[in-house]
Amino acid sequence: MPFPILQFGTSRFLQAHFDYFVARGFVDGPGTGRIAVVQTTASAESARRVAFFDAGRPYRVHVRGVVGGATVDAWEEVDSVGRGVDANLDWTAAEKLFLNARWIVSNTGDRGYELDPADRPDNGVPKSFPAKLTKLLYARFAASRLAPTLFPCELIEGNGDRLKALTLELAASWGLPQAFRRWLGEDCLWVNSLVDRIVSAPLEPAGAVAEPYSLWAVENRPGLIMPCRHPSVVVTDDLKRYERLKLFILNLGHTYLAELWSRRGGAANEFVRVALADPATLAELNDLYDREVLPVFDGLGMGEEARAYRASVLERFRNPFLDHKLADIFTNHAAKKQRRFGGLAALAEQHGIVVAQPRLKAALAA
């Protein structure tokens, strides 16, 4: 059975986001079994999910929240995943799937783009995701297959451009043919995109609990053909507006709440909604937005849009049904602070926007 979509990553987020969209609106018809999932890490949790996916069984997403004052509480089946492979254990199977896929999707976590200097094309299975991808792309080029469309979904600004640059860097350092590097840079379609949905908890053996809100904003490119259609999938010529709102209001807010939680030695099972029920914490977060975040958006001419988005984000944070642990948000906290706090400061400096950001700077220095 052919799998037109190959997905790197087994996360509950992808299960409730991209895989969910494909199940609802695969571009060529019903989405049943259209995705092959490839595990790239050594995680035991990922291995359990891969084993489930390889059986080709559907899973469920529990969508819970409040939209316009109305309660949403629905179980939705997702049947778009039909294969699961661990690239570290069965590279041959992963390569075969890669050679035949039309679309490549990834969401490999906050440190997914880090390189390993030991990775080489002729030294077994590479450790880093960019090296794995480069080796697979070279196999595809050598087999004279058509260049794929790649949709990185990691929360990195310009994720498609960044992953493209890393593969080109590796191809050059490995001494791979110039024709392959040209194919990588000119024939493969690297698409920047932004994902947005709060997915608070996994279900076993697969599935997740998620909020009703969802968004996949994809930057338009010549020749782009999407793998799925859904009301939450938006193809746009101005991706940066979506990126800045998501990264510097929702993600930054999550990371700041995790910073406060860590400082006070919060309970391991404390949820975002519980933190916001504390008047002092809510006031601190709102004051941070008002004094250190929104002035940057004012300087970009996005003030009104940012304030409306802030209001929607706080409503989503208060979702009474999502058990979104601050401890989970705190994972890879230092890297998240650099991208979210440091990224906002860099954006302000880049545009000549003068705003004091004492709390964000103190958190970065901590």
Confidence at residue 111, expressed as pLDDT on a 0 to 100 scale: 76
> Domain of 340: which CATH number?
1.10.1040.10
> Based on the domain organization, do 110 and 58 belong to the same domain?
yes
Write the pLDDT tens digit of every residue in 127-156. 999 999 999 999 999 999 999 999 999 988
Q: Are 192 and 158 in contact (CB under 8 A)?
A: yes
> Based on the domain organization, do 171 and 272 belong to the same domain?
no
> Based on the domain organization, do 40 and 148 belong to the same domain?
yes
Q: Is the pTM of this model over 0.95?
A: no
> Based on the domain organization, do 228 and 279 belong to the same domain?
no
> Based on the domain organization, do 178 and 305 belong to the same domain?
no
Residues spanned by the domain of 309: 240-365
Q: What is the mean pLDDT of residues 279-297?
A: 97
Number of structural domains found in the chain: 2
Q: What is the mean pLDDT of residues 200-215?
A: 93
> Based on the domain organization, do 270 and 347 belong to the same domain?
yes
Q: Are 199 and 12 in contact (CB under 8 A)?
A: yes
Domain boundary among 237, 269, 285: 237
Write the pLDDT tens digit of every residue in 49-74. 999 999 999 999 999 998 878 899 99
> Domain of 136: which CATH number?
3.40.50.720
Q: What is the largest CA-CA distance in the chain?
A: 61
pLDDT-derived band at 43 (thresholds 50, 70, 90) equals: confident
Write the pLDDT tens digit of every residue in 150-184. 999 998 889 999 999 999 999 999 999 999 999 99
> Based on the domain organization, do 192 and 340 belong to the same domain?
no
Confidence at residue 30, expressed as pLDDT on a 0 to 100 scale: 60
> Based on the domain organization, do 352 and 268 belong to the same domain?
yes
CA distance 321 to 179: 53
Angle at 281 between CA 272 and CA 274, to 5 degrees: 30
Q: Of residues 22 and 111, which shows the higher confidence score?
A: 22
> Based on the domain organization, do 95 and 228 belong to the same domain?
yes
Q: Which helix (H) or strand (E) holds 336?
A: helix 333-337
> Based on the domain organization, do 203 and 104 belong to the same domain?
yes
pLDDT-derived band at 31 (thresholds 50, 70, 90) equals: low
Q: What is the mean pLDDT of residues 301-312?
A: 95
> Based on the domain organization, do 254 and 344 belong to the same domain?
yes
CA distance 308 to 178: 49
CA distance 206 to 253: 28
Output the six-digit token pair for 353: 């926007």
> Based on the domain organization, do 133 and 229 belong to the same domain?
yes
